[in-house]
Amino acid sequence: MTDKTDKSEKSALDRSTLLPLFGTGWKMAESKDALEKTFLFKDFKQAFAFMTKVADDAEALNHHPEWSNVYRTVKVRLTTHDTGGLTKLDVDLARRMDTAAGY
C-alpha cells in the first residue's frame, strides 16, 4: 500500500494534529478553515515583544498570521491563504506562538 498522503507543507491536516493546540487555548474558527486564539499579556510591551518574536518565526516559516493588537491583547487567526484552509504550517506557527508566549 503506497502512502498517498501529501507530505507537502501545505497539504490538508489530520485532525489529531490539532488536539494539543486545543489544549493551549486555540479554537477552530466557525468557518473551519482557520485556528484562532487571543493572547493576553502583562502589558503592552510584553504583547509587542511577543509580536516581534513571532515575526521572526513567521519569516522563518514564510507563513504569516492574521492578527491585531489592542494594548496587552493580541488576537490571532491562522490560515493558509494559498490553499484556503488549514495546513501543517498553521500548526507549526501556532506551536511557535505558544512557545513565544511562554506556554
Ligand X SMILES: C[C@H](O)[C@H](O)[C@H]1CNC2=NC(N)=NC(=O)C2=N1
Q: Which residues bind ligand X (CB under 6 A)?
A: 62-64, 80-82
Minimum separation from the CB atom of position 90 to ligand X (A): 7
Residue number, 31 or 62, with CB nearest to ligand X: 62
Residue number, 6 or 82, with CB nearest to ligand X: 82
Q: Which residue is nearest to ligand X (CB)?
A: 82
Minimum separation from the CB atom of position 1 to ligand X (A): 31
Residue number, 15 or 81, with CB nearest to ligand X: 81
Residue number, 63 or 96, with CB nearest to ligand X: 63
Three-state SS string across the chain, please? Answer: CCCCCCCCCCCCCCHHHHHHHHCCCCEECCCCCCEEEEEECCCHHHHHHHHHHHHHHHHHHCCCCEEEEECCEEEEEECECCCCECCHHHHHHHHHHHHHCCC
Contact at 8 Å (CB) between 52 and 100? no
Minimum separation from the CB atom of position 64 to ligand X (A): 4
